[in-house]
Amino acid sequence: MDEKFNTILSIALIPQIVEKEKIDDIAAISEFYSSKTYEMLAKEETKVWHYSPLTICSMWQYEKETGELVFPEE
């Protein structure tokens, strides 16, 4: 991962997970990094990185609740 990508995650996405899940940063990072959502986000060809942090967080929450990764319609 490049530094910009990690910065975006730490500034925009992880704080949303911390707030919504009421967990600390370390737990949020661990949970997100072990998800299918993160796996797809890390792959350039999936283009998941172009979604907003809020959308990515919603995708992750849905995956966490259902076990399914669903991409939003454009």
What are the boundaries of each domain within the chain? 3-66
- The pLDDT of residue 7 is 76
For 42-51, which contacts have Cβ atoms below 8 Å and span 24 or more sequence positions?
42/1, 49/5
This prediction's pTM: 0.84
The answer to whether residue 2 scores a pLDDT higher than 80 is no
**By C-alpha distance, which of 43, 9, 7, 46 is closest to 29?**
9
Q: pLDDT tens, 13-38?
A: 999 999 999 999 999 999 999 999 99
